[in-house]
């Protein structure tokens, strides 16, 4: 019997490998050319050249069910940083599984991004952006069945990103899940990971310096 390989040429390799692992696309061949020129320079300025990132929300605040105000605050600062690094409004998308969080994000980010660049994962199916930021919303103790019952939602979210995928969420809430835990492990290992506190306290530091600071605190704690 013949064996056929699907070839992927849209997302950068670390992003494609991430959704490949989450969705179980074992036969996917990744052949995306590496970034060069201005595209690489922007990524270097914004995220130390890494294609993956995770910002851990240590303690989120709610405004009703399926909302996370702390994630909104972090994402607003993150979008500002990305734009300072040279990314245009049209190159950034912010997505979330929940409609209530979508509304909060649209309200908070209205001076930074158009309403059309912020929405639920399902609204962006079939679309793409250079940078995708995902607001997961859930906190420790919340049910994750809606977002983690199947790999589909996470797969769609990751595969919208061409150059950079950053997940914002609670490590405690996500580490016990089936699919998000896979993504979390890879994001932390191959990308840049930091706490919301470090990110918000030192927004002008590069992502790598924030990472070094966080790792230094672990050593001395």
Q: How confident is the model at residue 217 (pLDDT cuts 50, 70, 90)?
A: low
CATH number at 193 reads 3.40.50.300
- 159 within some domain: yes
pLDDT at 68 over 90: yes
Domain that holds residue 151: 6-220
Residue 162: pLDDT above 70? yes
- For tokens 């929300």, the residue is 57
Three-class SS state of 22: helix
For residues 57 and 61, give the distance between their C-alpha atoms in angstroms, rounded to a whole number: 10
Classified as helix, coil or strand, 37 is helix
Who contacts 201 (Cβ-Cβ below 8 Å, separation ≥6)?
none
Among 81, 84, 6, 203, which residue's Cα sits nearest to residue 194? 203
Number of domains in the chain: 1
Report CA torsion sign: 181, 10, 207, 85: negative
pLDDT band at 203 (very low <50, low <70, confident <90, very high): low
Q: Is residue 48 part of a domain?
A: yes
| In-domain check, residue 92 | yes
Per-residue pLDDT of 88-103, as tens digits, reads: 999 999 999 999 999 9
Confirm whether 118 is domain-assigned: yes
Q: Kindly report the number of other CB atoms within 10 A of residue 4's CB atom.
A: 5
CA distances from 122 to 136, 153, 155 (A): 14, 8, 11
**195 falls in which pLDDT band (50, 70, 90)?**
very high
pTM of the entire predicted model: 0.90
Q: Cα(65)–Cα(122) distance, rounded to whole angstroms?
A: 19
Question: What does the alpha-carbon distance between residue 96 and residue 133 come to, in Å, rounded to a whole number?
Answer: 9
Whether residue 1 lies inside any domain: the answer is: no
Whether 180 is covered by a domain: the verdict is yes
């Amino acid at each position: 019997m013949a064996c056929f390989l699907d070839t992927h040429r849209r997302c950068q390799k670390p992003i494609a490998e991430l959704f490949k692992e989450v969705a179980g696309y074992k036969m996917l061949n990744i052949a995306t050319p590496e970034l060069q020129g201005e595209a690489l320079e922007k990524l270097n300025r914004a995220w130390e050249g890494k294609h993956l990132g995770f910002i851990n929300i240590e303690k989120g605040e709610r405004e009703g069910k399926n909302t996370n105000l702390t994630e909104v605050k972090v994402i607003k600062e993150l979008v500002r940083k990305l734009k300072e690094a040279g990314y245009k409004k049209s190159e950034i998308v912010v997505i979330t599984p929940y409609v209530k969080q979508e509304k909060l994000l649209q309200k908070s980010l209205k001076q930074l991004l158009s309403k059309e660049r912020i929405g639920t994962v399902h609204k962006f199916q079939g679309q793409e952006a250079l940078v995708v930021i995902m607001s997961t919303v859930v906190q420790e103790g919340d049910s994750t069945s809606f977002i983690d019952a199947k790999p589909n939602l996470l797969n769609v979210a990751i595969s919208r990103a061409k150059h950079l995928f950053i997940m914002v969420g609670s490590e405690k809430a996500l580490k016990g899940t089936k699919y998000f835990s896979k993504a979390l492990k890879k994001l932390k290992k191959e990308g840049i990971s930091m706490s919301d506190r470090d990110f918000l306290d030192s927004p002008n530091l590069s992502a790598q310096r924030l990472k070094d600071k966080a790792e230094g605190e672990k050593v001395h704690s």
